Structure 1
Amino acid sequence: MPELPEVETTLRGIRPHLEGRRIERLLVRETRLRLPIPPEMADRVGGQSILGLSRRSKYLLIQLEHGTLLVHLGMSGSLRVVPAESPPKRHDHLDLILTDGRCLRFHDPRRFGIFLWTPDTPDTLKAEHRLLRDLGPEPLAPTFDGDHLYRSSRKRRVAVKSFIMDAAVVVGVGNIYANESLFLAGILPASPCNTIELERYRRLAEVIRALLLASIEEGGTTLRDFVREDGRPGYFAQSLRVYGRAGEPCKVCGATIRQVRIGQRSSFFCDRCQH
């Protein structure tokens, strides 16, 4: 699944091509996404100008003159800006066609993405929409720090890896980044979250922020189903220290990287560097 850096990379890639442009029409080839596209949506967005683009967690918000497009890439989705006359490929489910002859094309082989219009502004969506209202702080925002993690963990006993992957605690820390962050912070992923001290949480919050920023700068982690908006994969996978490296030597101490399942997700760690 595309994680927060992949979504942020997509946002930064498509924003210059969409902001200030006018939508000519919405062309829908497949309505059966995670949330079905209603037939009246094309009439809602056609003719509107695009005022701005933003992100909340892994959701992209495209603000129009009237209402907002709420977009989620799902398990395998991607967005590209292409000439409107470009022949669609298989799984190119819709085009947001602009008056300048280009279109924003939504590609989603597994059809688990979301592309919907709502009458609300982005700020209202973030505060009230059922998909967004209960989300925790953004990991790159000033409201996220080790003190927040420490306070949120005191009455819980789940594994710390599951804890930092909980979107109600902090958004956007998916499986890859949880594994990598815990390694860099020296914390075993199975440790009960309420046993981690404040200073270690402060270190973990710093690592999470730095790791996500580094991944955004490098274009997002290369995943099997993800490519950037320009069709090129990201490069952060070349920097992974533990994720996907079970049985290989730790790049720091040489011990063997181990793999277990925590919360039904593969977890990778070095039991010499992490404790």
Structure 2
Amino acid sequence: MPELPEVETVRRGLSALVIDKKVIGVDVIYPKIIVGDPSEFKEQVSGRTISAIDRRGKYLLFRFSADLTMVSHLRMEGKYSVKDAAVPLDKHTHVVFNFDDGTQLRYNDVRKFGRMQLVETGMEKMLPSLQKLGPEPTPETFDAQAFYQALHRRKKAVKTALLDQTLVVGLGNIYVDEVLWQTKIHPETKCANITEQQALVLHDNIILELERAIAAHGTTVFTFTDANSHSGSFQNQLNVYGKKGEPCPRCQTPIQKIVVGQRGTHFCPHCQQVI
């Protein structure tokens, strides 16, 4: 599943390609991608211009003229690309936004899990899926003390807590494994057992790790590509994720893989011990 760095990479790429383009029609090939009535979706979007593309956590927010927002979640395999209308559609293309300049914004999704939903601009924050989201992982919005206090109110394992998007948004399986390794915290450590100093270091590592991943245009482990069909490169900087049996970059102990909260989890048994 694309995590925050990948979604942000897509947002930036699409912004350079579709801002100020006018939609003259929408083809919905697989209706279940649309939350709500596909016919109403097509009618509401047609004739509007894309004025901006924002992001909240792992959600893309397409801002259309006249106060309309499309909330888009890529889920496991969703991808956007911009093509000339003359280029044949891929068999996994499910929604096509036709622009007045002869180009198209195409949504491709092998697994068909992605979703698009229209709301009045400003009301997206009221959607249940966005209401529960924690702060963005930036120094301005992600308060270290509040993070520490929120950790101590939870009884679950820290890996599971970081994945649920309420402490801070944007972390998925890859980046949780990485930041816990950097902070020397075992993924099964109970949140309430994490010291204040550990929490403050973890807070800083979360911000820095996601910044580095964005700068590298995300991580391509399986199929992720950006709006220009380019892969990310942050997979070349991973320390533990996908490294089972390989030596820890810090102490040379073989990386282990276990299951935490039904997710494959990589860690160093020497550097990261349960407290």
The TM-score bracket by the shorter chain reads: over 0.9
Query: Deviation digits for residues 30-68 of structure 1, max 9, x if unmatched?
Result: 112274652221111111111211001111111112311
Aligned partner of 2:150: which letter?
S
- Tell me how far 1:143 sits from its aligned partner: 2.3
Aligned to 2:99: 98
Please give the residue correspondences for 1:108-119 in structure 2 after superposition, counting only pairs within 5 Å.
108-118=109-119
In 1, distance between residues paired with 2:33 and 2:242? 30
2:28 touches 2:38 (CA, 8 Å); kept in 1?
no
Q: 1:132 is paired with a residue of what secondary structure?
A: helix
1:198 aligned partner, one-letter code: E
Q: Greater shift after overlay, 71-80 or 36-45?
A: 36-45
Indicate the larger mover: 91-100 or 27-36: 27-36
The alignment's TM-score, normalised by the length of structure 2, stands at: 0.95
Counterpart residue identity of residue 27, structure 2: L
Runs of 4+ in 1 over 3 A off after TM superposition: 34-37
Q: What is the distance in 2 between the residues matched to 1:45 and 1:20?
A: 14
Give the letter aligned to residue 70 of structure 1: V
Structure 2 unaligned regions, length at least 5: none
Whether contact under 8 Å (1:35, 1:114) holds in the other structure is: yes
Q: Matched residue of 1:6: which SS?
A: helix
- Are the aligned partners of 1:184 and 1:207 in contact in 2 as well (CA < 8 Å)? yes
Matching residue within 176, 191, 199 for 1:193: 191
Corresponding residue of 1:162: 160
- Residue of structure 2 in register with 1:53 after alignment: 53
The 1:116–1:85 alpha-carbon spacing in structure 2 relative to 1, beyond 3 Å, is farther
Q: CA RMSD in A?
A: 1.4
The equivalences for 1:65-144 within 5 A come to 65-66=65-66, 67-118=68-119, 120-121=120-121, 123-126=122-125, 128-140=126-138, 142-144=140-142
Q: 2:237 aligns with which of 230, 236, 239?
A: 239
Please list the CA deviations of residues 216-242 of structure 1 after superposition, one character each: whole Å capped at 9, or x if unmatched.
Answer: 111110131321211121111111100
Distance 1:201 1:157 in 2: 15
* Distance in structure 2 (CA, Å) of the matches to 1:34 and 1:226: 22
What is the CA–CA distance in structure 2 between the aligned matches of 1:53 and 1:225, rounded to whole Å?
A: 23
Distance 1:43 1:125 in 2: 19
List runs of 5+ in structure 1 lacking aligned partners: none
Task: List aligned pairs for 1:147-226, cutoff 5 A.
Answer: 147-226=145-224
SS at match of 1:214: helix
Partners of 2:246 and 2:25 lie apart in 1 by 52
Residue 33 of structure 1 aligns with an amino acid whose one-letter code is: I
- Alignment identity in percent? 36
* Paired residues of 2:184 and 2:271 also in contact (CA < 8 A): yes
The two structures have a TM-score, normalised by structure 1, of 0.95
